[in-house]
Structures are given as structure tokens and as C-alpha cells.
Chain A
């Protein structure tokens, strides 16, 4: 059985670990110590991709990847002023309109708290948004003290504070995409090996937010899977957005139809959802999914991949919103996906030597 509360705690806990793009390795000790009992092996490659492997115990079993990216949007220190303020640049597509007055943590030689500076209405001439390079982080320290603890290139993340709204909506930072990562890990960890239809590689991939979706390819190449599922967040429908580019919350997960993913696997995944009563919404992502799926698809000899989305509102802010109902749908699907002998049979690689 999937334990809802356990999944929720796993999400809050993994999302609290700072892993701004390029700094995913900071999460290695946490991942190893937290999940080592549930997997056969845990490793981290040169790019920062973490791979959690759970074998099914069958000989010549096919290999399936469940990918969720581990990096989060954040900031990096670009300068330190003499009076102790930090200049920063965004890492990934941050929404600059939510940055002033945000609580941040500076991951220097020590973890320091900071606040992004804002101008009070009493001293303000207009409500112009500062450019990202005009933003300052107040460390509450003088320049000398800051320079001893912080270097140019130090990552800065939003302070993690998690909460709940009505109807099991969770709010907090970095659900994109560590909520999916935690869901994937919980689903795989709670599935007994004898139920698995394939050897499962949970891939917590690096640098999705900054490297044009490139970090994942190294780990997929090394793993050489038979098929893969990419789970990432999808933009939830909110006021003033178009229906075709959003997905409703509480209606289950989204499954992308795209020229960049594998049609057979996509249709088979939808069939699996229908068989197992897992709610889903098909969405059209014509030439690219905007996720790792398009990259995974083109690694090595090509990897059949399905792109699955968890609806999320307020993306790339420190208060993203997701629904417990959708979380359970995603966890169920991952579980069925890795346990389906039918899918494993269909996707297992045949000898396809052409030349």
C-alpha cells in the first residue's frame, strides 16, 4: 500500500535539501543515508545525476528508467559589496517578480540566512521591478565577515517552509521537480522486488533547469535502458491561462502526446491508467515536451519514453502548489508502470542489428 503521509513527508524532506542547478551533489549524503535500505545501489555520476537501482532478480531482465530532475531553480552569488550585501544571478527561469523580500539561505562555508532587499513604499518613487542584477541579498553582516564565509559562485536557495491549503494542496519550494523525485522513490521503494517487471533505475537527473535539458543524457547513456518514464511537473490551469497549455489540478496526472516521445509507450501507459483506474489527462506537446523526455528519447540508439506530468501552480516560485490527489495518482502509475509484465514484454529490446 502507498502511505500518503509517508509520501508527503518524503516530498517535504527531499525538497528541503538544497540542489540548485549544478549543485546536485550536495544532496548525495542525504540521498544515500535516507534511501540506502530501499535500493540495491545508489551512485552519483560526474554530471551530478543520482541513480538509485532496484533489481527485480530475474535474469536478463529489461531495464526501465524513472526520471525526475533533482535540480531546482535558485540563485548564485556574483558579487559581494563592502557593506555586506550579495549580488546574485538567477539559476534557471526564476520569476523575478516574486524575489523581493524573499527569505533565502546562502550555502557558503556556513549556511547563512538572508533576505532579498526591497524598497518600502515610504521611500519609493515607482513600482518598477528591479532587473535581476540589481537585486541584493541582505546578510545582516558586514562586508569583511561575509567575505570570510561566502565566495563568488556560492549557491543561494529559497528558505524551505512547507504547508498545506484546503483539500490536501501542498505548498512550498522546489516541488519542481523534487516532488516527482520523492514520489518516484516512494513508489519504487514500496514495491517488492518480486513484483517488479524490470530492473528499475530511479534517475534523479541534474541541470534540467539550466543546461537545456542536457544533464540527464549522461546517465541514460550509461544505463542504456529498454524504456523510460520521465516525470516532471506540468503547468496547472489558473486564471488567465489557456486551456490547451495547462492541466487541471485534482484530475490526475497528464500524459503528453508528442513527436518527441514514443507513441507506442504513451498509448500503452494510457491503457494501463484505464485498466488500473488511475485518472489522467492527455495533453498535446507537439514538437517538444519542455521536459527531459525529449532528451532521453534521443540518447544512444534511442530510448522509448513516455512523458508524465504532475499539475503544479505558481511554478518557479518558492510557494509552488501541488495536490495530494494528483500525487497519489502519480505514485500509483509509477508502481503499475514498473510492475507491468505486459509493458516490459512490449518494450524489452529485441536483437535489432541492422548492419
Chain B
């Protein structure tokens, strides 16, 4: 399975915040035989540990690598008497990408195809035709004829995600739902494989945390970081960018094709200065394309990890991704390689240091 196929499989898995089991299962299958241990903690985080150097050494370093398994999605909050389902978003989704979309509902016994629908444009008043349809005017149609039939399949509190095909297009681009953050998960799986083949040097534990519930407020990573108490942490992410026509350069955040995005500051973290410099140096040494994030926006698991216990030096490396949190996220596969390769380089360099 090559990188694109791995990303495709991960993106296809159903995993809105709070229901990450299927993603965790898929990841576990990929890495269970090549790590020292793979455990699921009480929050649902999947934590895989690789130990390098002398396992009995008195002082060992601990590096935490983190990517979140969850994706933005929906929760059913009403089953209407006409068989349609009312819903709310899980995580931040813009109302402008809801109407007309296909969704997958994880019902009682099986997944169901559904459609986020509203009345046709023909029935909309003229003033409403140029407006986004608000979520309370939208409903999910699963084809049920009435409320009783809908209740046979779905309960209040059931989850749903976008149903959107993954494909490659253009010049090395990938498109799909849940690239945020299954690309981070894919990078960790590939780094684990490489470290298995060619182990890192130094007395170091590298703890790969596939975390839950990032999209609703960074909650899974909090428990994972507290359990691991790492000396340093690297968050592998996607970052929302707007490098498209008609957007001024000052607001584009980063560029597709520009390589791994290294964050200096976002809405939840001011990143460790030394780690940012090291990342840029290693990118140069290893000829990996990298760019510094040019806009203070967004946030990720670093926001909670860096505040854990006595505090953790934290770095975030992201794949610049267009149209984040939509059913059609777009990223460049070369930028994904850059994130993967840069992170591997930083792990190797940090693991071999006396102190980090």
C-alpha cells in the first residue's frame, strides 16, 4: 500500500469526534506488529510506543508524536414525524458546505446513506436564493417514509459524517473528506514503518499518539500528554490555507506545494522557538521543503499538549490544506511527503541528542 492508498483508506473510515473506533482499528492493524506496544487508553486514544537504545538506561528521553483520528461530522438531534432527521454539527463546519451533500449515518445496526436536503431553489423566495441555507432549514433524508420507520434505523445521538469520494487530481493533488487529520495519521504510520526498518539512535521512547476529539476542543490529547509526560512533542496536522485566486497574499496563510508548514503561533499556541529553528534547519539539511505559517489562525492539539504538567516544548508541522472541514479538502501529496520526512528527521535528530 503506497502513501496515497494509505491516506485513502484512512479517509474512508467513519470517525467523527467521539466515534473514532473504526479509525483506531484500522491504524492498529497497520502498526500492531512493528511497535513495542500499542494500547488504547480510557479516552480512546491509540498510543503506540517504540523504544530505541538501551531500554535499561537510567535516563531516557520521551518524544510524543501526535495526530488526531477524529473528523468533523454531525449528530442526529431530532427524528421528525415525516421521517427526516434534524442534525447539528460536531466540530466547526461552515453552513455553506452543508446543503446538498451526501452523508453516512452510523445507525443502530448499519451505516445508512443520507442526504442533507432542503426545499428546491424553485420554492425559495428570491431574497433567500442568494443566501446560505441555515442548518435549521436543512434535514437529513435517509429515505424513511415516516418517523416510525426512521426510528427503526436511527436514534437521537447517532453520528454522521460527510460521504465524499477520495481521488487524486491535477498535479499531484488529493481530494477527500477527513484529510484533517488522517494525513497526520498516515504520516505517523509511515514514520513507524521507517523507524522499524532503520531504528533511531539514542535512549529514547517515541510515543505515537493517535488522539480523539480534537475537533471539539483538543480533549483526547490532554489525557495522552499527561500519561506520557514527554520531553518534547510534535503535532502532525493539516492547516487551513486560502492560497486561491482573489485572496490577497497577506491572507493566504501558506501555499500548496510550498512544503511542510511550521507554525510559529496560532490561536491556541505560541510554539517553542528553539524547536521551530531546529525544524527549519533540519528541513534545510535534508532538503525537505518547508514554509512558515504566515497568519495567526486555527489551532490544534499543541494547544493542550504544551500546557501539560510542567509544560512541554511543542512543535506543529502541517500539510497546507485547502477547504478544510468541507467534504472536499484538497492537498498536495508532495506537501504530505514533506511533513512525513521532516518529522522523521526531527525524531532522529532529537532522539540522538543528550538532552532535549
Spell out A's residues near B (CB within 8 Å). 81, 83-85, 93-98, 100-103, 112-124, 127-129, 131, 134, 136, 138-142, 145, 159, 161, 163-169, 171, 235, 238-242, 245-246, 250, 313-319, 321
Contacts and interface: CB of A to CB of B under 8 A. Distances in A.
B246 A136 contact: yes
12 contacts: A94-B121, A103-B165, A112-B170, A129-B130, A138-B330, A159-B165, A161-B165, A171-B102, A242-B123, A316-B120, A317-B120, A319-B100
A114 B322 CA distance: 13
A101 to B, nearest CB: 4
Given A95-B121, A121-B325, A314 B242 contact: no
Given A122-B92, A315-B121, 19 more contacts: A94-B121, A96-B129, A97-B133, A115-B323, A119-B94, A122-B240, A123-B251, A129-B132, A138-B323, A140-B172, A165-B112, A171-B102, A239-B119, A240-B123, A241-B119, A314-B117, A315-B120, A317-B120, A321-B115
B96 A97 contact: yes
Contact of A250 (B133, B142, B145, B170): B145
Contacts of A139: 169-170
Contacts of A317: 99-100, 120
A164 B93 CA distance: 25
B307 to A, nearest CB: 21
Contact of B171 (A136, A145, A168): A145
A19 B131 CA distance: 28
Contacts of B354: none
A171 B115 contact: yes
Interface in B90-146: 92-97, 99-102, 112-115, 117-123, 129-133, 137, 139, 141-145
Contacts, number: 206
Interface string B68-109: 000000000000101010000000111111011110000000
Contact of B117 (A83, A124, A161, A238): A238
Nearest to B295: A123
B113 A171 contact: yes
A142 B171 CA distance: 8
Contact of A124 (B94, B119, B142): B94
B94 A120 contact: yes
Which of B80, B121, B130 is the most central at the interface, judged by chain A CB atoms within 10 Å of its CB?
B121
Interface residues of B, number: 65
A315 B170 contact: no
A112 B169 contact: yes
B96 A166 contact: no
A321 B117 CA distance: 10
Contacts of B149: 166-167
Contacts of B123: 235, 240-242, 245-246
A239 B175 contact: no
Contact of A138 (B114, B253, B322): B322
Interface in B8-53: none
Which of B84, B120, B141 is the most central at the interface, judged by chain A CB atoms within 10 Å of its CB?
B120
Nearest to A126: B132
A71 to B, nearest CB: 17
B292 interface: no
B145 A167 contact: yes
B113 A165 contact: yes
A321 B143 CA distance: 9
Given A95-B121, A101-B97, A119 B242 contact: yes
Contact of A314 (B80, B115, B144, B326): B115
Contacts of B348: none
Contacts of A163: 102, 113
Contacts of A138: 170, 244, 322-323, 330
